[in-house]
Amino acid sequence: MTATQPTRATLHKHGELKRRRVLAGLDQEEMAKRARISWPYLSLLESGKRSPSVKVLHRLAAALDCPVEDLLA
């Protein structure tokens, strides 16, 4: 039996992504641009209405200059 890689990530407690974005001095548009996602999708991630793919999670972490683990639950 082989283990499968997760395709979706569960972000840290509600509001953590937004908190880190604001602390980094980024608005949603700039954060989305850096993470190569749309700002409406970023809004859904920040509100907890959507979960990012692992690929997007890595992009978010890179945009925030933080380890991926810091964004995970």
Report how many domains make up the chain.
1
Note the pTM of the prediction, 2 decimals: 0.82
What pLDDT score was predicted for residue 38? 98
Domain that holds residue 29: 16-65
30 is a domain residue: yes
Does 1 score more than 50 pLDDT? no
CATH number of residue 44's parent domain: 1.10.260.40
Does 59 score more than 50 pLDDT? yes
Q: What is the pLDDT of residues 9-23, one digit of tens each?
A: 677 666 889 999 999
What pLDDT score was predicted for residue 12? 64
Exposed, middle or buried: residue 49 (CB in 10 Å: 0-12, 13-18, 19+)?
exposed
Cβ atoms of 8 and 53 closer than 8 Å: yes
2 is a domain residue: no
Cα 69 to Cα 15: distance, rounded to the nearest angstrom: 16
